[in-house]
Structure 1
Amino acid sequence: MAGKSGRTISNVPEKSWKKTVLSWEGMLVLLIILINIFCASISPSYQLANVLREMPKYLTEVFLMLPMAYILILGEIDISVGATVCLSATMTCMVCNKDMPFIVVVLTALLVGTICGFINGMILTRFTELPPMIVTLGTQIVFRGIAEIALGSGGSISLSNTDGFRMIAGKAGMIPYILFVVLIFAVIFTLVLSKTTFGRSVYAIGSNRLAAYYSGIHVQNIRLIIYTAMGFMAGLAALFLTSVLYGANTTTGNGFELDAIAMAVFGGISTAGGKGKLQGGIISAFIIICLRIGLGQINMNPQLILIILGALLILAVLLPNIGGEVKLKKKTVSAK
């Protein structure tokens, strides 16, 4: 576009390599390189083949992080996803043990998860005054309670036929199939959030729900779609988790919701809503996975690993606030 002076003004702001490198996502890329160097230095077993072999049991949580990022950008939270995984895995095992065709088993996992997510969405969109944390806390108790009743006194179930699950737990060379599936969904969720009207609407709702509503955005429909997608991805996570564990019990999926939230927040997604990029969440998910594998290989206490991850999460939340305060002080000083 040409101005009065005859100069051409670009509609698109110029991209600076310095801004890209110093962005949160750029720092995360640097961090994942450093984490891999660190893990390789402390563990002789930290090699590509071993990392890829151990990765599937952690990758299921990335399925949950993708829609969880959408929910956090909305300014909301879903703490029922671990229980949804538990219920989906339980029902999947029960249907599989009835000698049903494997396609029916797969559909069971996806359908149970989707129904759970839809229930959350329906409650929250019909009773908009209810806080998402309280609603999903209630459904968390209900979903895990149903799973516990279904599992009975033993509290666990094992697969009697593992053929189908062995197939989806397979590998293409060294790379497990689940990694391909995770990357495919990561690309889909990223493109939808960053390149579509739906994604822009999610950011608008997270920034100011009332303003989004008056601008013509179907706020409640979008919330329902996202919570239902959360349930679908929980069902998918349950399917692949069952292919790793060959069974389910009352503790299946325990803490998955916290891990998904941690991955998203560490990736730069704001819990206040309206801010963050999914690319950061994806990179941070692999940082956490690599760190867990590396520290696990040297037999570090699992509780100590959790402490380290918790400290990283607190640091990730504090850094933007510290940076904001520094910028504010500089502006104050320059104004004087």
Structure 2
Amino acid sequence: MAGKSGRTIVNVPDKSWKKTLLCWESMLVVVFILINIFCASISSSYQFSSVLREMPKYLTEMFLLFPMAYILILGEIDISVGAIVCLSATMTCMASNKEWPFIVVVLVSLLVGTICGFVNGLILTKFTELPPMIVTLGTQIVFRGIAEISLGSGGSVSLSNTEGFRMIAGKVGTIPYILFVVAIFAVIFTVVLSKTTFGRSVYAIGSNSRAAYYSGIHVQRIRLIIYTAMGFMAGLAALFLTSVLYGANTTTGNGFEMDAIAMAVFGGISTAGGKGKLQGGIISGLIIICLRIGLGQINMNPQLILIILGALLILAVLLPNIGGEVKLKKKTAAAK
């Protein structure tokens, strides 16, 4: 646009190559490459085909990452998702064992998860003074308790009919179906968050929910939609997890909520709300999955793997803060 002076005013922000290359997502791509080199060096069986073969049991957690990123950007948290996966998987197995058509079994899994997510959202939107962590802690206990009661004294249920689950656990060549499904939902959630009014509203709520409300954003409606979507994706995760485990027990889904949060935070999504990109969460999720597969192939103690992942998470939280402090000191020194 040309002004009175004859100069052209550019209303599109300039994106420098330096800024793009040094962004958190670009650094995660480098880490992803290094992690794969490291895993290949410590395990002779770490190959593309072996990674694809072992991926399905880990990819289920990626379904939880997508809506969890939205919740964290809202400045909130949901720690009930592991319990929702457990309850959905339990009901899925029971429905399958009743010889119901597989399409009905799929709907049972999705419906149970969606109802649980809707319950979380309904409580949080009707009683806005309640902190999400406490509410979802309570519903976590309730949902897992229902699953344990349903499972009875044995504490587990096995599929008597695995035909439908073998179908969704199938592959196109060497690529499992679940990878295609994860990719589709990754694109959907990323586009909605970064390119739509709904996504901009999520960031606005996370930055300042009161200001967002007075600017005309339907804050509580958006929160309800996101928590319900969280439940739906937990039901979807339970469906694919059942296709891997061929059953469910009282520990199904244990720690899934922490893994989803770790993926999101390591991907650069702020727990304070209003900041972060889902692309970073997706890359970090793949990093964690590849690291688990590589360390698992050398029979490393699972607890030690958790310690390594915890250290990576702490590092991911510390680095931006250290960088911020360094910049602040430079500005202060320059001002003097």
Under TM normalisation by the shorter chain, which class is it? over 0.9
Task: Name the structure 1 match of 2:27.
Answer: 27
Task: Indicate whether 1:309 and 2:312 are aligned.
Answer: no
Instruction: Show CA shifts across 1:224-282 (max 9, x none).
Output: 00000000000000000000000000000000000000000000000000000000000
**In structure 2, distance between residues paired with 1:91 and 1:4:** 69
User: 1:10 offset after TM fit, Å?
Assistant: 1.7
Match of 2:123, SS state, is helix
Match of 1:276, SS state, is coil
**In structure 2, distance between residues paired with 1:283 and 1:303:** 23
**In structure 2, distance between residues paired with 1:15 and 1:3:** 23
| Equivalent residue runs for 1:74-223 within 5 Å | 74-223=74-223
Task: Name the structure 2 match of 1:44.
Answer: 44
Task: Indicate whether 1:319 and 2:331 are aligned.
Answer: no
Instruction: Show CA shifts across 1:37-93 (max 9, x none).
Output: 111111100000000000000000000010000000000000000000000000000
User: 1:8 offset after TM fit, Å?
Assistant: 1.5
Give the partner amino acid of 1:136. Answer: T
Give the partner amino acid of 2:42. Answer: I
Task: Name the structure 2 match of 1:276.
Answer: 276
After the TM superposition, list the runs of 4 or more consecutive aligned residues in structure 1 that deviate by more than 2 angstroms.
none
Give the partner amino acid of 1:198. Answer: F
Instruction: Show CA shifts across 1:24-46 (max 9, x none).
Output: 00000111001001111111000
Task: Indicate whether 1:265 and 2:268 are aligned.
Answer: no
**In structure 2, distance between residues paired with 1:15 and 1:142:** 48
Task: Name the structure 2 match of 1:293.
Answer: 293
**In structure 2, distance between residues paired with 1:165 and 1:193:** 31
**In structure 1, distance between residues paired with 2:165 and 2:245:** 10
**In structure 2, distance between residues paired with 1:106 and 1:21:** 43
**In structure 1, distance between residues paired with 2:160 and 2:153:** 19
**Aligned-pair identity (%):** 88
**In structure 1, distance between residues paired with 2:173 and 2:245:** 21
**In structure 2, distance between residues paired with 1:18 and 1:326:** 18
Give the partner amino acid of 1:231. Answer: G
Match of 2:157, SS state, is strand
Give the partner amino acid of 1:84. Answer: I
User: 1:3 offset after TM fit, Å?
Assistant: 2.6
**In structure 2, distance between residues paired with 1:21 and 1:38:** 22
User: 1:5 offset after TM fit, Å?
Assistant: 2.8
**In structure 2, distance between residues paired with 1:190 and 1:305:** 29
Match of 1:14, SS state, is coil
Task: Name the structure 1 match of 2:229.
Answer: 229
**In structure 1, distance between residues paired with 2:149 and 2:11:** 60
- Equivalenced residue count is 336
Give the partner amino acid of 1:105. Answer: V
The worse-fitting range, judged by mean Cα deviation, of 11-20 and 173-182 is 11-20
Match of 2:268, SS state, is coil
Unmatched 5+ stretches in structure 2: none
TM-score (norm 1): 0.99
**In structure 1, distance between residues paired with 2:335 and 2:17:** 29
| Equivalent residue runs for 1:245-256 within 5 Å | 245-256=245-256
User: 1:4 offset after TM fit, Å?
Assistant: 3.2
**In structure 2, distance between residues paired with 1:305 and 1:5:** 63
Match of 2:260, SS state, is helix
